[in-house]
A and B are shown apart, each in its own frame.
Chain A
Amino acid sequence: MQDIRKALYVGSRSDGRLIQRPMSPHLQVYRYRLSMVLSIMNRITGVIATAGATLGVFWLGAAAKGPKAFATARKVTGNPLGQLVLLGWLASVIYHTVGGIRHLIWDSGYRYDKKEVNKDGPVAVGVTAGVSTVLAAGLLAVSICRKRSRAKAGKVS
């Protein structure tokens, strides 16, 4: 027995035999609620945001190392698959930020009633989708514009 908590699940039947007592209902028996999905998403997006920040550190490292390493980094950030990863990072950071703001509001004692939580959930999803789309489209547009103006100036990549 590795975990002391498991000891608490050992009970005895009326005939004296030791049995493992049942655990309380877990995830699979509850009806799907948006609030529970959003809660776990806050954790998952936090982990993804950390992974993205790690990529960001490597991007900075490549820029610090020199033009050659940075060219490799740009190959990653420039191709569609890399940009999909960046989009995932962006959306995760946005959702984690929205979720974090909600947590700060709850911590201050507001919007924590059942009705309010259920009302704010879809808003959080909408804000995340909207802000992510606008930022991603904006960033893509900026990089395309810069690429074009550089091509006009006659510089290579």
Chain B
Amino acid sequence: MNASAPHIEVMRSQLGRARGLGAGHSGVAHWWAERVTAASLLPLSTWFVVQMFRLGGADHTEVVKWGGKPVNATMLIALIITTFYHAQLGLQVIVDDYVHGKAHLPTRLLVKIGTSLLGLLGVIAVIKLFVRGSTAK
């Protein structure tokens, strides 16, 4: 290389340069996931509000019948997974912003585990409701 040619000295390893990522150690995956889940939640939550209009004041038999329909169970599971994934991404940003020091990692793990378990609980509830509704007469 011609030493007299104008150039900038960058203190950065070749591996770091190849990865193309900075001090954040990751790219825009989190940002994109937040936006994609947000956009997906628009139709999903609209569907849920419409269903609540159908179910307002309903008793147990009616709810079970509703939950026993495959389309409803599918939409519910999609809604629950998207909701809690989006919640996880959002709460993570809040924790990153306001919780510092030693408390940061445990709080972040708590958010991750908590939202994951709640989402799973919701999915299991939908499956149970679906089994109940699709086998009931």
From known contacts A57-B80, A63-B63, infer whether A100 and B38 are also in contact, taking CB-CB under 8 Å: yes
- Chain B: interface size category: 35 or more
Q: Could you tell me if A50 and B91 are in contact, using CB atoms closer than 8 angstroms?
A: yes
Secondary structure at the A interface, as helix, strand, loop or mixed, is helix
**Which among A43, A56, A101 has the highest number of chain B CB atoms within 10 Å?**
A56
Q: Which of A7-15, A27-35, A109-117, A135-143 contacts B (4 or more CB under 8 A)?
A: A135-143
Interface string of B25-66 (1 = CB under 8 A from A): 000000000010011011001000100110011111001100
- Among A78-127, those with CB < 8 Å from B are 93, 97, 100-101, 103-104, 107
Q: CA–CA, A5 to B67, complex, Å?
A: 51
A139 near B63 with CB under 8 A, answer no
Contact between B102 and A60 (Cβ–Cβ < 8 Å)?
A: no
B84 (CB) vs chain A CBs: closest residue? A53
Give 9 pairs: A residue, B residue, CB < 8 Å, sorted on A. Answer: A50-B87, A53-B122, A64-B128, A74-B59, A101-B42, A139-B53, A144-B57, A146-B56, A146-B57
